[in-house]
């Protein structure tokens, strides 16, 4: 059974959602990792959850990036360990330099909390290997700073290396300007690092796990991960 760690920073608020999603819906073994811990041994994957770590002071994720657990997480990721950053977790991974780019305030300055459509752009990662290219998923977002930025050279590298996993699209799966909810460059909703073991995504798959609660498209992503981990 896959063993998954969920990091808890002061101000994390999606840690329990991630725990519930993996433990009770996906039947994985899950442990919380307090930000002061330094032992990540024996874990098959680490999730950096959403929330407002350290009150998002200075910039989202900027302070969390220096906590003790993050130094271990960076080593874990550099050795190829799977790391998934969701929302604030994505922001923290950007600040830590595990994924290229940065987050700006949403173009319209509004905090956006709603269901969005994202399109699977690449299946060349453990996060999407059991999904279909161009598959549409409906998953909620909840962020004020999700406006992804990277310079032109960096963007080209992401595209050439197939690192963009998810883009914001409309219900028909098209990248219309209105579908790009926060103004992200190239409609980017989720990307990996070069080695594709580290994923950052703004939408919250852990909040779309059970039909009873409205939607379950997020489950497909976790199914893909757990399948890939079981084979590996």
Mark the segment that binds other proteins (CB under 8 A) among 22-30, 143-151, 157-165, 222-230.
Answer: 143-151
How far apart CA 80 and CA 220 sit, in angstroms, is 22
Task: Closer to other proteins by CB, 39 or 107: give it.
Answer: 107
Task: Closer to other proteins by CB, 74 or 229: give it.
Answer: 74
Strands 3-8 and 29-34: parallel
If one asks whether residue 107 binds other proteins (CB under 8 A), the answer comes out as: yes
Enumerate the active-site residues.
87, 204, 206
Residues sharing a CB contact under 8 Å with residue 18, sequence separation 6 or more, in sequence order: 6, 30, 47, 49, 86, 206
Which string of x and - marks every residue 39-78 that binds other proteins (by CB under 8 A)? -------------------xx--xx--x------------
Q: DSSP string of 166-200?
A: EEEE-TTS---GGG-TT--GGGEEEEE-TTS-EEE
Do the Cβ atoms of 123 and 129 come closer than 8 Å?
Answer: yes
How far apart CA 161 and CA 216 sit, in angstroms, is 29
Mark the segment that binds other proteins (CB under 8 A) among 13-21, 31-39, 105-113, 166-174.
Answer: 105-113
Which string of x and - marks every residue 4-43 that binds other proteins (by CB under 8 A)? ----------------------------------------
Interface ranges with other proteins (CB under 8 A)? 58-59, 62-63, 66, 94-95, 100-102, 104-109, 147, 149-150, 183
């Amino acid at each position: 059974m896959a063993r998954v760690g969920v990091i808890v920073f002061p101000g994390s608020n999606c840690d329990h959602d991630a725990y519930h999603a993996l433990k009770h819906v996906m039947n994985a073994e899950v442990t919380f990792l307090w930000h002061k811990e330094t032992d990540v041994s024996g874990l098959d994957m680490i999730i950096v959850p959403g929330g407002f770590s350290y009150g998002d002071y200075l910039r989202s994720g900027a302070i969390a990036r220096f906590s003790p657990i993050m130094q271990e997480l960076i080593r874990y990721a550099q050795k190829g360990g799977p790391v998934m950053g969701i929302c604030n977790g994505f922001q923290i991974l950007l600040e830590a330099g595990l994924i290229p780019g940065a987050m700006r305030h949403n173009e319209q300055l509004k905090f956006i909390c709603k269901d969005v459509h994202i399109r699977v752009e690449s299946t060349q990662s453990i996060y999407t290997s059991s999904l279909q290219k161009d598959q549409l998923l409906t998953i909620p977002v909840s962020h004020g700073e999700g406006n992804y930025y990277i310079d032109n050279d960096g963007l080209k590298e992401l595209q050439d290396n197939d690192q963009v996993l998810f883009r914001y699209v409309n219900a028909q799966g098209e990248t219309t300007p209105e579908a790009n909810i926060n103004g992200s460059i190239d409609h980017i909703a989720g990307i990996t690092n070069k080695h594709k073991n580290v994923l950052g995504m703004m939408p919250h798959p852990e909040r779309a796990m059970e039909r009873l609660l409205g939607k379950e498209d997020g489950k497909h992503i976790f199914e893909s991960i757990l399948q890939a981990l079981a084979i590996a």
